[in-house]
Amino acid sequence: MTILRQALCQTALILTVTGGAIAQDIPIEPLGPLGPPPIPADNPMTDEKIELGRLLFFDGRLSGNGTMGCVVCHSPFTGWGFPDAISMGYPGTVHWRNAQTIINSAYYGNLFWTGSSSSLEHQARSAARGAVGGNGEDDMMEARLAFVPEYREMFRNVFGDAYPSVRHAYMAIAAFERTLVQTDTPFDEYMRGDETALTEQQLRGMELFEGEAGCINCHNGPLFSNQGFYNIGVPSPEIWETDGLAQITYRFELYAKGVSEYLYRTSHDDLGLYFDTKQEGDFGRFRVPSLRYTVYTGPYMHNGAFDTLREVVEFYNAGGGTTFEETKSELIQPLGLSDDQIDDLVAFLESLSGDEIVMDFPELPEYAPLPDDWYQN
């Protein structure tokens, strides 16, 4: 394993992905332990900001009806994601994609399944305002925060605000989310020199991961994601054909994202990266998710198509699926792994998760009338 990892470093192997409108020449980075997350210069971390962000993450006031806080779709008790295949939507709607975990999201260069947000700050804003997400309006959300004395004081101390602003609320939430990282998995400990941290089965699985199974082509580097975009042919969820609200949501998304009338009337699959690029070569392509913390984050894929990690490996072993087959990545081919090899690979994937990260819901501050002189502060 050491020889292979050194070879990857020395040769800087280049992976060229064909069949899509976005050209991807992505180095295959060697696997390694996860270091501290990057912190943007315009949103430095402080204990006070993190605490404010923690409260706001759990507070439904940052939504349209006052109940759809971040935690609704990213609960600490369900892997900081959502336990169903498709995430919960704003009341009266359903969502249309699987909710990804917040754990280690600080390391992504772009957020959401098609990389449509460039930062955690922007992701928080998009989720709070999205029509089938938080469905919030800035003015109303700011008014709610202003009527909470504790928030007024915290925003003043952290940001110098005369009264709370949603822009700073998203910055505080992002700061909190950057504390939700896991860098002490069995895999990390092994990579830092503890040769007993992985079992013999997990070591066999790692060899398959980097070799015969080819997982490292896309799931590489310390994050176990090259953050590229691929179509692997994931089957469409049954919900699009059987649930009326889901069909409405999907048509709404098609309309809101500006697709052609033909696609609006005929498409039955999530168009993926096409929504952002409007290039047919991007049909069905989604950003590679990290494999870290996945023990706790099923169901898997952008539409929750698979319930277990073994189902995911079996899907790859069979050569993926046929959705948007014309844009399917050439990397996805039948692997021919035996049942024992699949077991080994799943065991290695399990080593990428440490102890579950749980957190109690905080007691949120209450509303109170504004003081008569609030506008002078």
| Residues 233-252 pLDDT 10s | 999 888 878 899 998 999 99
- Asked if residues 70 and 86 have their Cβ atoms less than 8 Å apart, the reply is no
Round to whole Å and give the CA distance between 256 and 252.
6
CATH superfamily of 47-181: Cytochrome c-like domain (1.10.760.10)
Does residue 16 sit in helix, strand or coil?
strand
- Asked if residues 69 and 136 have their Cβ atoms less than 8 Å apart, the reply is no
- The backbone torsions φ and ψ at residue 285, rounded to the nearest 5 degrees and listed phi first, read -95, 135
Does residue 230 sit in helix, strand or coil?
strand
Tens digit of pLDDT for each residue in 308-365? 999 999 999 999 999 999 999 999 999 999 999 999 999 999 999 999 999 999 999 9
- What is the reported pLDDT for 6? 37
Return the CATH number of 2-30+183-236+281-350, one of 1.10.3720.10, 3.40.50.2000, 1.10.760.10, 3.10.580.10. 1.10.760.10
Buried residues in 278-303 as b, exposed as e (16+ CB within 10 A)? eeebbbbbbbbbbbbbbbbbbbbbbb
Residues 6+ apart with CB under 8 A from 102: 70, 74, 80, 81, 177, 180
Token pair in block for residue 69: 């806080």
Q: Is the peptide bond before 299 cis (omega within 30 degrees of 0)?
A: yes
Instruction: Please provide the distance, in angstroms rounded to a whole number, between the alpha carbons at the two ends of the chain.
Output: 62
Q: Using only C-alpha atoms, what is the Rg of the chain? A: 22
Beta strand ranges found along the chain (DSSP E) = 14-17, 24-27, 229-230, 286-287
Per-residue pLDDT of the chain (377 residues; tens, 9 = 90+): 333 333 333 333 333 333 445 556 788 999 999 999 999 999 999 999 999 999 999 999 999 999 999 999 999 999 999 999 999 999 989 999 999 999 999 999 999 999 999 999 999 999 999 999 999 999 999 999 999 999 999 999 999 999 999 999 999 999 999 999 999 999 999 999 999 999 999 999 999 999 999 999 999 999 999 999 999 999 988 887 889 999 899 999 999 999 999 999 999 899 999 999 999 999 999 999 999 999 999 999 999 999 999 999 999 999 999 999 999 999 999 999 999 999 999 999 999 999 999 999 999 999 999 887 766 55
Cα separations (Å) of 179 from 51, 104, 112, 144, 366? 11, 9, 19, 26, 26
Round to whole Å and give the CA distance between 317 and 108.
27
Round to whole Å and give the CA distance between 149 and 146.
7
- What is the reported pLDDT for 7? 35
Round to whole Å and give the CA distance between 336 and 169.
50
- Asked if residues 120 and 40 have their Cβ atoms less than 8 Å apart, the reply is no
Domain ranges of the chain: 2-30+183-236+281-350, 47-181
Round to whole Å and give the CA distance between 224 and 103.
13
Round to whole Å and give the CA distance between 376 and 368.
18
Tally of CB atoms within 10 A around 193: 8
Residues 6+ apart with CB under 8 A from 39: 45, 178
Task: Tell me how many degrees the CA angle 17-18-21 measures, rounded to the nearest 5.
Answer: 100
